[in-house]
Amino acid sequence: PTFFSVMSNRFSDIELQEEEGIPTEEFLESCYAIVPVLDKLGPTVFAPVKMDFVGNIKKINQKYITNKEEFDTLQKIVLHEVNAGVAQVRNSATEALLWLKRGLKFLKGFLTEVKNGEKNIQTAL
């Protein structure tokens, strides 16, 4: 078994809601499950990435817990913030989601490089 095969929450297990989108709670749980990977990869090298990653997860979670029923999907959070005119405000959940997506994409790219045989961490980064 690998770290990834025994993860309790995986993005691939999230069931998209037909009209509503990505369930917030399951998405956040999957994001939190990735955090230990950053420690395994290198607590020093990945410390800034981890801080950014966790900070963005927390911002989205803070919005979610204000009204779990209303914000049960990421799309509902974003639409709420767009309609309220705060989506582009610093530290909004929408901004946090944007940066979290970028962080996930970066991590995926890095892990793909390692999987493809890159031994030099700087090159993979």
Say how many domains are in the chain: 1
* pLDDT-derived band at 109, boundaries 50, 70, 90: very high
Q: How many residues does the chain have?
A: 125
Separation CA 108–CA 43 (nearest Å): 18
Residue 2 predicted with pLDDT over 80: no
Alpha carbon distance 1, 62 (integer Å): 34
The pLDDT value recorded for residue 26 is 93
Distance CA 93, CA 56 (A): 8
Q: What is the pLDDT of residues 11-38, one digit of tens each?
A: 778 888 777 799 999 999 999 988 888 8
For residue 95, what is the domain's CATH number?
Answer: 1.10.3520.10
Q: Residue 13 is part of which domain span?
A: 3-123
Query: pTM for the whole thing?
Result: 0.86
